[in-house]
Amino acid sequence: MFRRQFKALVEMLQEQLSTLRQTSSEQVNAIGNAEKTAHEDREKIERAVAAVQTPEADYTHAHEYREKNYTVQVVLTVVTGLAFLAAATYAGLAWRQVRIMNKTYTEIQRQTKAAEESAYAACEDAQIARQSLIQMENAQADTHGATVAAVEQAFAVTQSGAAHLFVVKNPEKEFLTPNLTAGEPIRFPYVIGNGGTTAALKISVIWNVDFIARDSDPEFFFTKTASLYSATQMGPHTRYPGPSDRNVSAVARMRNGDIIKADATSMETYQAGTKDIVAYAHATYWDIFGVRHWGQWCIVDQILPTGIIPDTGHPKCNAYNQEDHNRAMQPATPIPSPVKPIPEVPCSLPDAPTSSR
């Protein structure tokens, strides 16, 4: 911007100086032409006087006219000279100012050139820093990805070793069939196992049993006197009850806690498939990593002396089966999405300096 302003100022001063020079030249020419004309008029008058005898009065009048005309020409010459001197002085001052401005413009141009070179160097440094930042981000993403993979692998190994309680829905025949003896409580044998590779701790499993029609569903309630299994610890790959204690079962109860006993026709309706024994349980336990777990099971398989009838229906019973998804450790932070590339800033080379007039 400064360069354009200084160029415009220099051009304006040069135009004014050229105009002054032209005006001075025209004034000098006018003075010369006036002197030449006066001289020619004087000669004409002298020749006329010599040719014609002029009266003394006319001669005197002509002489006075010539004197006045000469005085006017002298004054005009002096004034013109002074004007030319003033114009020359102004032109000299203007020329001096032009020289000073040219020097100032040259200095500013030099400083501008240095600033442009500094800006170019700073731009190049910024490009180098940009490349370094991109490389650092890529290296960080690679490191984070490797860390995530390692943590996820450790997480998978840890999860596979956590305790996991389950209910054996189809116990072997030696675990006995449900007890439907008339006058005695209705009982359902169950088996709890730990399928993990580490022990389950602080185990609490509460049971209840319903004797309901095959086209109905249990109410899923537990009383204070419900069948309860609790243990401080259950080792990996173990079951309860074990081979030495197979007569473990849950007792059917009503909402008030009373035990439901079989009657004379209970076994008949059970074997005919019109009524089913449906057992359900809710369990809580901890794994050795300090994570609490829970599980819900509902068993609809019917165990008969002649064999097992799997899945006799009861949709709500199947929907009741749920387990937690608590993990021994939280998954690693996911790999972040790629960072938007940093735009490259073009570095313009400094312009060549413009020579001053």
pLDDT greater than 90 at residue 206:
yes
Determine, yes or no, domain membership for 227.
yes
Total tally of structural domains belonging to the chain: 2
Determine, yes or no, domain membership for 347.
no
Q: Do 194 and 317 belong to one domain? A: yes
pLDDT greater than 60 at residue 92:
yes
Cα–Cα distance measured from residue 186 to residue 184, given in angstroms and rounded to the nearest whole number? 6
Cα–Cα distance measured from residue 292 to residue 294, given in angstroms and rounded to the nearest whole number? 7
Determine, yes or no, domain membership for 337.
no
Determine, yes or no, domain membership for 351.
no
Whole domain around residue 319: which residue ranges? 162-323
Q: Do 166 and 315 belong to one domain? A: yes
* Structure confidence at residue 30 (pLDDT): 65
pLDDT band at 302 (very low <50, low <70, confident <90, very high): confident
Domain boundary among 76, 109, 125: 125
Cα–Cα distance measured from residue 123 to residue 143, given in angstroms and rounded to the nearest whole number? 30
pLDDT greater than 80 at residue 180:
yes
Q: Do 107 and 166 belong to one domain? A: no
What is the pLDDT averaged over residues 173-177?
57
> CB–CB of 217/315 below 8 Å?
yes
pLDDT band at 184 (very low <50, low <70, confident <90, very high): very high
* Structure confidence at residue 226 (pLDDT): 86
Q: Do 120 and 199 belong to one domain? A: no
What is the pLDDT averaged over residues 1-26?
61
For 194, left (φ over 0), alpha (ψ -120 to 50), or beta? beta
Q: Is the pTM of this model over 0.75?
A: no
Domain boundary among 125, 153, 175: 125
Residue type, 122: A
Q: Which helix (H) or strand (E) holds 322?
A: strand 322-323
Determine, yes or no, domain membership for 281.
yes
Q: Do 175 and 121 belong to one domain? A: no
Cα–Cα distance measured from residue 351 to residue 278, given in angstroms and rounded to the nearest whole number? 92
Q: Do 181 and 46 belong to one domain? A: no
Determine, yes or no, domain membership for 355.
no
pLDDT greater than 60 at residue 348:
yes
CA atoms within 13 A on the CB side of 145: 9
Q: Do 239 and 120 belong to one domain? A: no
Q: Do 117 and 171 belong to one domain? A: no
Integer-rounded Cα Rg, in Å, for the chain is 60
Q: Do 108 and 219 belong to one domain? A: no
Q: Helix 2-51 crosses helix 56-161 at what angle (to 10 degrees)?
A: 170
Q: Do 316 and 168 belong to one domain? A: yes
Domain boundary among 79, 108, 125: 125
Determine, yes or no, domain membership for 12.
yes
Determine, yes or no, domain membership for 212.
yes
Q: Do 89 and 172 belong to one domain? A: no
Q: Do 298 and 177 belong to one domain? A: yes
* Structure confidence at residue 72 (pLDDT): 63
* Structure confidence at residue 357 (pLDDT): 47
pLDDT band at 296 (very low <50, low <70, confident <90, very high): very high
